[in-house]
Amino acid sequence: MKTACLLLAEGFEEVEALTQADYLRRAGIHVTIAGIAGRKIKGSHGIAVEADAGPEALEDSYDAIILPGGMPGARNLAESPAVRNLINRHYTKGKLIAAICAAPAVVLHGGCNLLQGKKFTGYPGTEESVQGARFIPDRVVIDGNIITSRGPGTAGEFAVAIIAALENKQKADEVAQHALLK
């Protein structure tokens, strides 16, 4: 069974986080929702979530690391040495790194410097802070083992792209069809 770690920090974007957990679990992927500072986390719109695990989950290995956006959630992820270590450790092993909304610019570029020479997308305007990478205004952009997406309205497509990368296109299409994305 494939595994993914969905990282949550105070101020995360609820739709971008919970859609990933839901869709990936529908695909049979084991998702660990990890609160980087504890198991109870409040999203950017005041919705409180109890994570499966706390910061101890950042020591484990996964097939994918998933980073929702939202502010100040993305900034809180980027400022965490444990989060940066987890992302960089997985990236160098060729594991999937998936980021949406502000997370590509704030976490992948600002925190980890992983977008150099890469194509990416993100929330409109965040691309202005990214130097040395190529912004593509598509809803989902894949470049090697990095998947990026625009924002809350693209959360379903983002999840389907992650499923296709971890499992296969058939499983991704099945989840998309059941969720009425197709």
Report the C-alpha gap between 130 and 124 in whole angstroms. Answer: 12
Catalytic residue among 18, 78, 99, 101: 101
The token duo for 32 is 């660990």
Look at residue 35 and give its three-state secondary structure: strand
Query: Which one-letter DSSP state was computed for residue 114?
Result: -
Contact 20, 8 (CB under 8 A): no
Active site residue 5: no
Give the bridge partners for 147, in sequence order.
98, 142
Report the C-alpha gap between 177 and 182 in whole angstroms. Answer: 5
Where is 81: in which H helix or E strand?
Answer: helix 81-92
Contact 15, 49 (CB under 8 A): no
Catalytic residues: 101
